[in-house]
Amino acid sequence: MAIDFSLTPEQRELRTAARDAAASILTEVAPAVRGLDTPEARWKATRPIYQHLVEQGWLRRILPAPAGGEGQGLVDLALVAEEFAMVESGVSLTLFAVTLGLTPLLMAGNEEQLREHLPRFLAAEGAPLAAFAFSEPGGSANYDAPPPAEGIRTTAVRDGDDWVINGSKKWVSSAGGWDGAGADVITVVCRTGEPGTPPEQALSVLLVPGPADGITLDTSLDLLGHKAHQTPVVSFHDVRVPASAVLGAPGAGRDLVAASFTGTAALVGVFALAKMRAAFEYTLEFARTQSRGGAAPIIGHQAIGYALADAKGSIEAVRYLCWKACHALDTSAPGALELALHAKIVGSETAVRVITDLMRVVGIESYDEQAGPLPELLRDALVYPVFDGGNMGVRRRQLHALLQGPDYDPCATWL
């Protein structure tokens, strides 16, 4: 058996190109949003930067090759995500949220649906947005729960040849669009079954092209981190789409939701990795150059050196866990889901710990917004354990279910 973590020449080239793009494009975000007080103002200020990424082909490069893009799998996405998220969070998340918004379409769309909705995302022009409208006010950890639990509350009811959608969604990246009337494509998880319908048949995912009558942007959340990204509450008021807007079969939404959030788990681990790496590189340079009133740089102190060594070890461990998870998903390996869940949980929780530990190395100046990037990195990292399926409410529960399965093989993740 061969174990090989080396990148291909093409992947190395992709990583270098992503690093260069991040340095030349994403560094524009901070000055663009500086001094803007509202979430929507900051979000709209990022549109030219996001458009620049699209025009440089980065959206096409991360969309899968079978759909007309250039992406060769999740490992390639991980390489780009690490370089982008290390430099900036908001626009990076906007870019990658498009892939999530399109995932149900890519997984279950028919030829007509793909032909109608994908071209604008492959054209390397404009600022197209796609959103996966899943989470709802009040939480969606038990989204498939049948009555008397609430589960998904957004409904889609047949009216002749149309579906009529009513409800609200929250935490949906970019769903409000640039003008508040909806993203270019929104894949909406709705309850379509009659009362008493089993959970595995009660939900559907519908395609809603935006802007659309009846979509309203209720508010953009002012978050602790990710300040340059739109995370809105949107409402659907009698939004009508044709019967053909269903992705897959009516009632097949539960499995499509679960499949859509498998790959994202590994990528959240990569986002967390990026924040750790940025914090480590800053702190390493700080330790090499700052004496803090002593006779020599603080890196000479054993405690500082050990803290840096521990942080670097954690970064390397998370990187290879994430890479293995992405590779397992790309190759449909038996333990792919479990590895993806571990990448998300371990990566996100390790990032919070490592960044906090590195702040102790820097000392009190790490708490100063003007002194360095560590406060922003920590704020951004704090979301990773609780979004894309919270580690407590969703991801650990998924692992628990795997462990309880009669066919669970603890060695499957070795392959």
CA distances 220 to 85, 168, 268, 381, 386, Å, are: 22, 13, 22, 20, 18
Of 190, 187, 184, 239, whose CA–CA distance to 216 is shortest? Answer: 239
Instruction: Give the count of beta carbons closer than 10 Å to the beta carbon of residue 411.
Output: 8
Catalytic center residues: 388
Beta strands 130-133; 185-191: pairing state: parallel
List of E strands, 193-268: 203-209, 215-220, 232-242
Helices (H), 25-110: 29-33, 39-45, 47-55, 58-62, 74-87, 90-108
Pairwise CA distance, residues 86 & 133, whole Å: 26
103 in Cβ contact with 131 (< 8 Å): no
Backbone angles phi, psi at 145, to 5 degrees: -70, 135
Q: Which of 39, 35, 405, 73 is nearest to 219 (CA)?
A: 39
* Side-chain-facing half-sphere of 229: CA atoms under 13 Å: 23
Whose tokens are 């990566």? That residue is: 347
State how far the Cα of 354 lies from the Cα of 366, in Å rounded to an integer.
Answer: 13
Of 368, 326, 347, residue with least CA distance to 75 = 326
